[in-house]
């Protein structure tokens, strides 16, 4: 029986570091408030006006290919999870393939917001399990700074730019993608969305003047749903796979708020030293948080480790994925 195994991980981050100190010169906020309420110290921002989400993603993909000695033409398909596509159409995935030379790959975007990487990973795993495809790339990539209102103190400290990519290949050893639960509730859209720029409200002078092309978030409402849903779905997935906290090597949670991460860990009774946390360095990079965690921890992961990946985001969307890690890291 074929399983889809992650066989390498790679991240890419823009160089510019936007610190809480700098943010507090832009809006009425403090390092103390941001650290206590969210847990972010700094985030990366893509400053080059000529660069987009696809450039960060292509950088991750190119390094992923180099580190695995894979030729770009060997890749069968690529899925890009993003809410900040380069343009409304065509798909950013197509642009990434062009930039990284994936001439034989089909590709498409997936928008499940902060849960996007888990939706994309689940989809890609099913293609690999079918036996039809041998090498796939799933990339979560965002230039959140393109849709953040840097005059709104309630949202601008939260988000950052970045990309994380994984190589997915068939494995017959029993390691890899085991199970997932994907959920949506579209009625939650009222709490977190971008008001203008789509077909409902195409951009006009007025929508720009009203700052409707930026992220709109009712933080407290989103927080309440995020805390319960991310924990619920993680617990449900563990239960149906007969896993207890003792069986888990790592929880890999979406990095939106330190308090949401801690609540999820508490609910599944996992100590924080088994939880991947890098929110302080990168903020919330939406679809990129989970692969960026895997990248930061890649050297510590061991073949056979049980990982639960969990996310909650706009839509609402939420998801958990159970993976048996497939390799020991070697330089
Ligand atoms: O990844 C996608 C899913 N998104 C999430 O998971 C985000 C979920 N929500 C959150 O993480 C939190 O709700 C936020 C971080 C967005 C906000 O934290 P909060 O603890 O819910 O704060 P709040 O919105 O209830 O605001 C509390 C106070 C308010 O002042 P008053 O009305 O109590 O006087 C805000 O005006 O904090 C004020 N405030 C700030 N103060 C200093 C809001 N933003 C700031 C700020 N600096 N940056």
Query: Cβ(157) to ligand 1 under 6 A?
Result: yes
Burial class (CB in 10 A: 0-12, 13-18, 19+), 72: middle
**Which pLDDT value is given to residue 247?**
97
In CATH, the number for domain 3-176 is 3.40.47.10
Ligand 1 atom at shortest distance from the alpha carbon of 259: 11
pTM of the model: 0.97
- List active site positions: 114, 254, 284
Mutate to test the pocket of ligand 1, among 24, 37, 228, 290 (most ligand atoms within 8 A of CB): 37
Preceding omega of 274 cis (within 30 degrees of 0): no
Cα 154 to averaged position of ligand 1 atoms, centre (Å): 5
Residue 330 has a pLDDT of: 82
The CA-based dihedral angle spanning residues 257, 259, 260, 265, taken in that order and rounded to the nearest 10 degrees = 130
Domain ranges of the chain: 3-176, 178-324
**Ligand 1 geometric centre to CA of 138 (Å):** 32
How many helices (DSSP H) and strands (DSSP E) are in the chain?
10, 13
List, in order, residues 6 or more apart from 170 with CB less than 8 Å away: 2, 3, 4, 5, 128, 129, 131, 134
Strands (E), the chain: 3-12, 16-19, 42-45, 77-81, 106-110, 136-143, 161-171, 176-184, 192-194, 215-217, 250-253, 306-313, 317-324
- Pocket flag, ligand 1, residue 242 (CB < 6 Å): no
Identify the residue whose C-alpha is closest to ligand 1 atom 30: 154
The answer to whether the CB of 58 is under 6 A from ligand 1 is no
Closest atom of ligand 1 relative to the 27 alpha carbon: 48
Supply the pLDDT for residue 298: 98
Residue with CA at minimum distance from ligand 1 atom 2? 313
Integer Cα distance of 319 and 281 in angstroms: 24
What is the model's pLDDT at position 66?
A: 98
Which ligand 1 atom minimizes the distance to the CA of 254?
Answer: 1
Same fold, 3-176 and 178-324: yes
Which residue owns the Cα nearest ligand 1 atom 15?
38
The domain 178-324 belongs to what CATH superfamily? Answer: Thiolase/Chalcone synthase (3.40.47.10)
Can you give the pLDDT at residue 331?
74
Residues 6+ away with beta carbon under 8 Å from 180: 118, 121, 122, 125, 237, 319, 320, 321, 322
pLDDT in tens, the chain (331 residues): 999 999 999 999 999 999 999 999 999 999 999 999 999 999 999 999 999 999 999 999 999 999 999 999 999 999 999 999 999 999 999 999 999 999 999 999 999 999 999 999 999 999 999 999 999 999 999 999 999 999 999 999 999 999 999 999 999 999 999 999 999 999 999 999 999 999 999 999 999 999 999 999 999 999 999 999 999 999 999 999 999 999 999 999 999 999 999 999 999 999 999 999 999 999 999 999 999 999 999 999 999 999 999 999 999 999 999 999 999 998 7
């Amino acid at each position: 029986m074929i399983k889809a195994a992650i066989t390498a991980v790679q991240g890419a981050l823009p160089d510019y570091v936007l610190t809480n100190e700098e943010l507090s010169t832009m809006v009425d906020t403090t390092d103390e408030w941001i650290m206590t309420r969210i847990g972010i110290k700094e985030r990366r921002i893509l400053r080059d006006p000529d660069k987009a989400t696809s450039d960060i993603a292509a950088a991750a993909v190119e390094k992923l290919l180099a580190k695995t000695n894979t030729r770009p033409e060997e890749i069968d398909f690529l899925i890009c999870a993003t809410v900040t596509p380069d343009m409304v159409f065509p798909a950013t995935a197509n642009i990434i393939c062009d930039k990284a030379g994936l001439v034989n790959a089909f590709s498409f975007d997936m928008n499940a917001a902060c849960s996007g990487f888990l939706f994309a990973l689940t989809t890609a795993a099913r293609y690999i399990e079918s036996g039809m495809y041998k090498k796939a790339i799933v990339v979560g990539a965002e230039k959140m700074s393109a849709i953040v209102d840097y005059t709104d103190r309630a949202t601008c400290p939260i988000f950052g730019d970045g990309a994380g990519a994984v190589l997915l290949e068939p494995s017959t050893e029993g390691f890899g993608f085991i199970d997932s639960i994907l959920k949506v509730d579209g009625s939650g859209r009222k709490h977190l969305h971008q008001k203008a720029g789509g077909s409902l409200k195409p951009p006009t002078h007025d929508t720009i003047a009203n700052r409707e092309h930026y992220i709109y978030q009712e933080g407290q409402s989103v927080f309440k749903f995020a805390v319960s849903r991310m924990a619920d779905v993680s617990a449900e997935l563990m239960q149906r796979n007969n896993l207890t906290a003792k069986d888990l090597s790592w929880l890999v949670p979406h990095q939106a708020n330190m308090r949401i991460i801690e609540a999820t860990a508490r609910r599944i009774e996992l100590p924080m030293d088994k939880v991947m946390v890098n929110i302080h360095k990168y903020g919330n990079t939406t679809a990129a948080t989970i692969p960026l965690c895997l990248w930061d921890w890649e050297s510590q992961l061991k073949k056979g480790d049980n990982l639960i990946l969990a996310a909650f985001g706009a839509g609402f969307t939420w998801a958990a994925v159970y993976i048996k890690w497939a390799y020991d890291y070697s330089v």
